[in-house]
Chains A and B, each alone.
Chain A
Amino acid sequence: MRWGEIIRRLVLIPPTLFGVCVIVFVLLRVVPGDPIAMMIPPGASPADIDRLRAFYGLDQSILQQFITWLGQALTGNFGRSISLHQNVFELVLARLPATLELSLLATLIATALGVMVALTGVYVRGRRLEWAIDGGIGVFLAIPDFLWALILLLLFGVLIPLLPISGRIDPQLDVAFRTNFYLVESLLTGRLDVALALLQHMILPAVALALPFAALVARLLKASLAEAEDQDYAQIARARGFSRPAILWREVFPNALIPTVALGGVQVTLLLGGTVLVERIFSYEGIGNMAIDAVINRDFPLIQGLILTFAVLFIALNLAVDLLVRLLDPRLRHG
């Protein structure tokens, strides 16, 4: 990918986000469900309801509402949450770090697992163990993250209660954080006991998110490794007296990584999407969990803010993957 391509991508970002906003905005208001009906006490008079409706601008036409919302959004004001009575931008910003930390941890676990399985799988190529590994990968691909979340919750939360199954941090653990990146902050400031407590809460949801993604990484990488190992340069390395593990790691892996990152990197979006249900299951206070509450309460401004946040994350992820591929492949770097 050349620089021109990157610029083209950047130019396409605003129209993409605009499109996302339009679709979400219209869908929310066309689909049945009324935020006011969700919040009024029983027995409120029609006049009260109308006043509330007008207060949130819901009495106007959809187009009118959209223009108002967009005008404010462009100045960084994404409105007030109807159910939480707070600024949407601040709400999302406060919760986003929790989801980012969880997704990052899950991605790291998935990558480490996937790489190990792929290297093992390609090492035993042609033997019966390879079949077992391929079969295992297939199984893990077929079970979705929220199912893993339930399985892990029952297994390590209920059956063998080893780990906490709810929240981000113990309520009785009285620590103050300067940022909302609790894990990163505690690691950077050397508060390892706090980091450990955080990790204990994160590990189950992170593993649930990681398992299907690890299987995806393993499948993509194993195929790429097998293809790269058949190339002349890898074969010739054998004639230079290198052992097969050394060749797989030094010659084959850096090459196989390129298609794997290009194809698998964008799939991290699936993992991000998975946080919605998995955070819910573990009562983890991230934006995924928040999104479910927002939908239940028909909290239009909050839903719009959250979906826009996910859209920005997806776009950023795609760009990051492209840059990473350029970094890994010298043939693209000098293009």
Chain B
Amino acid sequence: MTAVLAVHDLHVAIGERGRAANVLRGASLEVGAGEVRGLVGESGAGKSMLGRAVLGLLPANAVIGGGTILFEGRDLLAMPEPERRGLLGRRIALIPQDPITSLNPVKRVGAQIAVTLRHHLALSKRAALERATELLAEVAIREPRRVLELYPHEISGGMRQRVLIAMAFACDPGLVIADEPTTALDVTVQRQVLQLVERLRQRHGAAVLFITHDLGVVAKICRTMTVLHAGRVLEEGETADVLARPRHPYTRALLAATPRADRPAEALRPVPPALIESLWSEAHRLDRLDVAGRA
């Protein structure tokens, strides 16, 4: 099975030359067709940067130092800009983290969904709004026709996130990158949102790269997972395996910091960078073994 997304040895630095911070240091991961892969790691690990690199959303002062990002076999970093723009929003979509700031405050919900549909699928205005109505119904929004007419500030945070999910799946993408889509929501809404992502993913046949620092969420919806730390992949595999037998102390620390029903959470003890560095070579070896094993 060829991967929908294959990030290989990606290096990204942010900042002025000389004082650049290496936020990704040779990160690699693959997402197969229809797969839901969790990308976990503590805050600052570089998870969002990896997602942004795929989506072409790196900050202006970021420099890609090397690596490839293959989407359906084609290198996003090497292809001409217009070709990449043709993929973004149509074949590759994003579910953003913050539903409050991610919708345009002066445009109606319907217009915001329709503009992407019209752009990529060349639908008429009528057809686009018709399709937008269906999409809203799909994310369990009641009275979708009425909601199309509303402005973002007139609907709740949970509803906004559902609108954003609907927008992500609007053009039947092959890959959806969800960057902590539940972090800003309260627990009950979180659960609904996770269910929705799962339902739409199945219906539209998309693969999902699910970025989160919440291992509980990963355990619930991701079949595979990748652990990122300080810009590098420490560990990856089937979620069940990784969570049952974490090979890397960092993963163990992450696990211990995750609250579970059967025991209280421990604070995430910082792993000394030196230890990580020494374990890195080990993890990298395992990484390669894994990749080799799958190939």
Contact = CB atoms under 8 A, between A and B. Distances in A.
Interface of A: 126, 231-236, 238-243, 250-251, 254-255, 258, 328-331, 334
Contacts of A231: 101
Contact of A240 (B101, B107, B119): B119
B101 A241 contact: no
A258 B92 CA distance: 32
A330 B101 contact: no
A241 B107 contact: no
Interface in B98-129: 98, 101-107, 115-116, 119-120
The 4 closest A-B pairs by CB, nearest first: A240-B89, A241-B89, A241-B88, A232-B101
B85 interface: yes
Given A239-B56, A239-B89, 17 more contacts: A232-B96, A232-B101, A233-B102, A233-B105, A234-B104, A235-B57, A238-B55, A239-B55, A240-B89, A241-B86, A250-B115, A254-B104, A255-B104, A330-B106, A330-B151, A330-B153, A331-B105
Contacts of B88: 238-241
B279 interface: no
A255 B119 contact: no
B55 A255 contact: no
Contacts of B151: 330-331, 334
Given A232-B98, A331-B151, A334-B154, A243 B104 contact: no
B261 interface: no
A239 B94 contact: yes
Contacts of A250: 115
Contacts of B94: 236, 239-240
Contact of B85 (A241, A251, A328): A241
Nearest to B99: A232
A251 B154 CA distance: 19
B60 interface: yes
Contact of B60 (A126, A234, A240, A254): A126
Contact of B102 (A236, A242, A329, A331): A236
Contacts of B98: 232
Nearest to B59: A235
B201 interface: no
25 contacts: A126-B60, A231-B101, A232-B96, A232-B102, A233-B101, A236-B57, A239-B56, A239-B92, A240-B93, A240-B116, A240-B119, A241-B85, A241-B86, A242-B89, A251-B104, A255-B104, A255-B105, A258-B106, A328-B106, A329-B106, A330-B105, A330-B151, A331-B151, A331-B153, A334-B151
A126 B62 CA distance: 14
Contacts of B154: 334
A242 B117 CA distance: 12
Interface string B7-18: 000000000000
B87 interface: yes
Best-surrounded residue of A233, A241, A242, A251 (most CB of chain B within 10 A): A241
A236 B93 CA distance: 10
B90 interface: yes
A334 B108 CA distance: 13
A249 to B, nearest CB: 12
A233 B104 contact: yes
Among A126, A232, A234, A329, max chain B CB count under 10 A is at: A232
Contacts of A241: 85-90, 116, 119-120
A231 B89 CA distance: 18
Q: Identify which of B105, B107, B115 gathers the most chain A CB atoms within 10 Å of its CB.
A: B105
Nearest to A252: B104
A242 B120 CA distance: 10
Contacts of A334: 151, 153-154
Nearest to B108: A330
Nearest to A329: B106
A274 B60 CA distance: 42
A241 B120 CA distance: 8
Nearest to A255: B106
Contacts of B93: 239-240
Contact of A238 (B57, B102, B103, B105): B57
A330 B112 CA distance: 15
Interface in B57-96: 57, 60, 85-90, 92-94, 96
B200 to A, nearest CB: 17
A254 B90 contact: no
A330 B167 CA distance: 21
A254 B107 contact: yes
A334 B151 CA distance: 10
A118 B166 CA distance: 34
B106 A254 contact: yes
Contacts of A258: 106
Contacts of A239: 55-57, 88-89, 92-94
Nearest to A242: B119
Given A232-B98, A235-B57, A242 B85 contact: yes
B98 to A, nearest CB: 6
Given A231-B101, A232-B101, A238 B107 contact: no
Contacts of A329: 106
Nearest to B106: A254
Given A241-B90, A242-B89, A236 B96 contact: yes
Nearest to B167: A240
Query: Which of B90, B98, B103, B107 neighbours the largest number of chain A CB atoms within 10 Å of its CB?
Result: B107
